Amino acid sequence: MDIIISNSSGVALYEQIEEQIKSQIMTGELMEGDALPSMRVLAKDLKISIITTKRAYEDLERDGFIYSVTGKGSFVKGINSDIVKENMKFAIQELLENAVDKAILGKVTLDEMREMLELLYEDKSM
């Protein structure tokens, strides 16, 4: 499992870990039942606090991506892609609401917003 974190990204370290593990699960790189590295091992490999890895694993478990067995470790949970997609859509909606608020304050038109979104989507999809 490859995880790359950046101290300069502006995104909390635990969120970077969560997003990368979620992505690996969604793409099938991590499969149901696969063991994740222990929190201690991951913290050591990434040279970060175990508290950070603990937070990431707790959030992943809360969101239904992994499960933990005391004394055995954490494992990838079988996911329902429809539920995951709904969760993603809800998160996107929250982010878009913030973007719309900023657009209204900045007098950015809906057409300008659409154009920005299309360009960003195309750029990230390649």
Query: What is each CA distance from 68 to 3, 26, 64, 104, in whole angstroms?
Result: 20, 19, 11, 44
Instruction: Using the predicted structure, report yes or no on whether residue 14 has a pLDDT greater than 80.
Output: yes
Structural class in CATH, domain 13-76: mainly alpha
Q: What's the pLDDT at 110? A: 96
Q: What's the pLDDT at 107? A: 96
17 falls in which pLDDT band (50, 70, 90)? very high
Q: Parse the chain into domains and list their residue ranges.
A: 13-76, 81-125
Quick: pLDDT tens for 63-103. 889 999 999 999 999 876 777 778 778 889 999 999 999 99
Distance between CA 26 and CA 30 in Å, rounded? 8
Q: What is the mean pLDDT of residues 4-26?
A: 92
Query: What is each CA distance from 10 to 6, 84, 99, 111, in whole angstroms?
Result: 8, 25, 18, 29
Quick: pLDDT tens for 23-63. 898 888 999 999 999 999 999 999 999 999 999 999 999 98
1 falls in which pLDDT band (50, 70, 90)? confident
